[in-house]
Structure 1
Amino acid sequence: MSLLQNLSYKEYHTALGFSKEKCEVIADLAGLKISFNDTKKPGEVLLKTLDRRGYSAEQYKNFLVAASQVKTIVTYYRPESKVAILIANDRYQHLSKLATPSIDCDSLAANLKNLGFIVVTIKNTHSRELKEILSKVFQEIPDDSYCFIFYAGHGGGLCNLTCLLGIECPTEDIGTDHCITDNFILSESAKCKPQLCVLILDVCRLNLDRVTNPKLFASVPDTVDYTTHSNLLLAYSTQSSHAAYEVLQIECSTTIDDNVTYELKTGDSARIVPGSSQYVNALCTRLGDDLDVSSLLDKVHGDVENSIRKQKPLKIQSGVAKRSLYDPVKGDVATILTKMKEVTEGYENCVVY
């Protein structure tokens, strides 16, 4: 009896629901070259081809077992390039110093590099310098690319904006020259017309004081507008008017809980476990999941909500097309990387690799 005659109706019906990717894996295991691009029922094509080639039901079931052990990566799109811009401010001149932003950016950089991203890290810059670097980098990103932008450092809420504070920021009387806004980053990124833009801000969003920062509030009518291209995912590590937490885990020690305050001592910074902020710890853990970006962030946010310090992230999405950080690029990565290095040369706190 043939393969099709030996399969139960349930087994046959299950096969009809196979994805194209799973069918391609099984066909490869069987040594068959089958195109599933022009059919809405790849499972049916697979079974009929296996049946015509004389494969038995037992062989087919063995292929299913072997295929279940093969990790398939779904490709949703092939962008021109993938560029990650990772910004960390922790060595503040007037505000309290932070422990984790630079370490978190390094952890993210390693993960994203493994996913095929060109990585740009920018650490401990004045706001004016950061704006210059961002403008130059975005100019070199080809249209139809993926942009992954991450910022960790001090921040604050300004009406409906989030301000990212430069290392020179004073404790009061903050002006527009001491910070950049999320709108500025979105406006600059839109110039390269990205196929996907992911902007993640791991900052406190407590409202800045209007009385002690009158110049900043007076500048609100002049803030930058922005437009979105294709697919935008904007994620905040915490909701408006709330704090984000650095939950430190020191080697040879225990994780800090709600009732314990830890003061960094000399030498401790070298012993902080990478991915120490609640948000980045969850993000780095999930980057290995084969999910579209929107679903990935949903998982990350669920993990953060269940972290040690209660924190509710926020995701804003524009565009519904599925895109994955795993998607392979089609452009000339080497040329783009060279241009990135050329335009950022001379900025000591900026590294491209």
Structure 2
Amino acid sequence: MSLLQNLPYPDYKQGLALNVEQCEVIARLANLPLNFNDVKKPGEFLIKQLDKKGYSVSQYKKFLTTTLNNKAIFTYYKPQSKVAILIANDKYEHLSKLATPSIDCDSLASKLKVLGFIPIVIKNVTSCSLKGVLKNIISLIPKDSYCFIFYAGHGCELCNTKCILGIDCPAEDIEFEHVVTENWILREVAKCEPDLCILIMDMCRLYLDKNKNQTIYASLSCIEEYSIYKNLIIGYSTQSSEAAYEVLEIECSTTIDNNLTYELKPGDTEKISPCASQYVDALCTRLSENLHINVLFDKVHLDVEKSLRKQKPIKVQCGVFKRSLYDPVQGDETALIQKIKEKLADIDQNCTIYYEE
């Protein structure tokens, strides 16, 4: 009698619910060289292959018990290094001030540090200063590394190009010198030839008024071109023309209109918990799970959609190789940390940068 004929239906149903990673573990235990790429029902496929090889119900249950009782740490790849660049703009000179970007970046830095990343937090910079800092840091990142870039602050959209707004950005007559485009960031990151680049933009994607910002619309030909080196994940915390929310117990603006500027009052900081933006809250919660990045961000985005305030994030993916934020590095991170510290020490003090050792 075969495995399929003897396997009780409840056990068969449980097998159908196995994810790809669990199926891969069972296949290794059974010495089956199976490829689960493009397999829509990995559990069903696995059971059929075990049946063909003559495995019994007791053997299958032993494999299943071993898999479910051991929290395996999957290693998909070993990058040279893992660097996280976290950018927080909240103290704007002309736009509404924000409450949570700095807190969120500090919280995210702590989480990523535990996973082996070198976290660099950049706070409250102009677009010009940010470009200089990013160029300096990226120039030190070894080839074949993981590069995680996160931005929290005000943003806008310009003909499908997402833009980070520096703290000196005006409310009207915005020019390219006031913004950093995602194209520019991706172009610079590609220069270090990373194995994986993750760019997360936790910001509003409001369209600029053409009548009030004629200069930047007249300069659309200046938008940078970029190429993708290997694996790329881009996450937008919200849809085009929509706001991204901070979940607070205090009043806070969700637009870039300076008339709605909110200043934190004494005692308000006690009401701001770590990971106060809906997106960062979901991301930090999911970082405790060792999932490959495609599944990780799918789960994060589903969590955001279920948040208190309506928000629908977007994921863009290029590259098909599985990678995890838990993947161990193979390069000398001690030497890289020292180089980064030396480079940051030379940067203008007007640009506040925090490095967690």
| Shorter-chain TM band | 0.7 to 0.9
Offset, 1:122: 0.4
Contact 2:138 2:189 in 1 (8 A): yes
- Judging changes above 3 Å, is the alpha-carbon distance between structure 1 residues 89 and 59 closer, same or farther for their aligned structure 2 residues? same
CA distance in 2 between counterparts of 1:22 and 1:345 reads: 50
Aligned CA RMSD, in angstroms, stands at 3.1
Contact 2:79 2:145 in 1 (8 A): yes
CA distance in 1 between counterparts of 2:119 and 2:268 reads: 27
- Give unpaired runs (5+ residues) of structure 2: 36-45, 51-56, 251-261
TM-score, length-scaled by structure 1: 0.80
SS at match of 1:227: coil
Matches within 5 A, 1:327-346: 327-346=327-346
Offset, 1:196: 0.7
Amino acid at match of 1:207: Y
CA distance in 2 between counterparts of 1:337 and 1:21 reads: 35
TM-score, length-scaled by structure 2: 0.80
Amino acid at match of 2:174: I
Structure 1 window deviating more from structure 2 (301-310 vs 262-271): it is 262-271
Which residue number in structure 1 is paired with residue 101 of structure 2? 101
The reply to whether residue 350 of structure 1 matches residue 353 of structure 2 is: yes
CA distance in 2 between counterparts of 1:20 and 1:154 reads: 43
Contact 1:199 1:233 in 2 (8 A): yes
SS at match of 2:241: coil
Contact 1:249 1:273 in 2 (8 A): no
Offset, 1:70: 2.1
CA distance in 2 between counterparts of 1:278 and 1:20 reads: 33
Contact 2:97 2:263 in 1 (8 A): no
The reply to whether residue 142 of structure 1 matches residue 145 of structure 2 is: no
CA distance in 2 between counterparts of 1:290 and 1:281 reads: 17
Matches within 5 A, 1:221-300: 221-249=221-249, 264-300=264-300
SS at match of 2:205: coil
Which residue number in structure 2 is paired with residue 195 of structure 1? 195
Q: Percent identity between the aligned chains?
A: 54
CA distance in 1 between counterparts of 2:221 and 2:346 reads: 34
Which residue number in structure 1 is paired with residue 312 of structure 2? 312
Amino acid at match of 2:111: N
- Judging changes above 3 Å, is the alpha-carbon distance between structure 1 residues 244 and 74 closer, same or farther for their aligned structure 2 residues? same
Q: Who wins on radius of gyration, i.e. which is larger?
A: 1
The reply to whether residue 206 of structure 1 matches residue 209 of structure 2 is: no
Contact 2:27 2:34 in 1 (8 A): no
> How many residues of Structure 1 are paired with residues of Structure 2 in the alignment?
316
Once the two structures are superposed, residues 145-175 of structure 1 have per-residue CA deviations (whole angstroms, 9 ceiling, x without a partner) of 1111100000111111111111111111111
Once the two structures are superposed, residues 83-108 of structure 1 have per-residue CA deviations (whole angstroms, 9 ceiling, x without a partner) of 11100000111111100000000111
Offset, 1:227: 0.4
Which residue number in structure 1 is paired with residue 259 of structure 2? none
SS at match of 2:206: coil
- Judging changes above 3 Å, is the alpha-carbon distance between structure 1 residues 216 and 197 closer, same or farther for their aligned structure 2 residues? same
CA distance in 2 between counterparts of 1:126 and 1:107 reads: 22
Which residue number in structure 1 is paired with residue 325 of structure 2? 325
CA distance in 1 between counterparts of 2:302 and 2:23 reads: 27
- Give unpaired runs (5+ residues) of structure 1: 1-7, 28-35, 48-56, 251-261
SS at match of 1:316: strand
SS at match of 1:90: coil
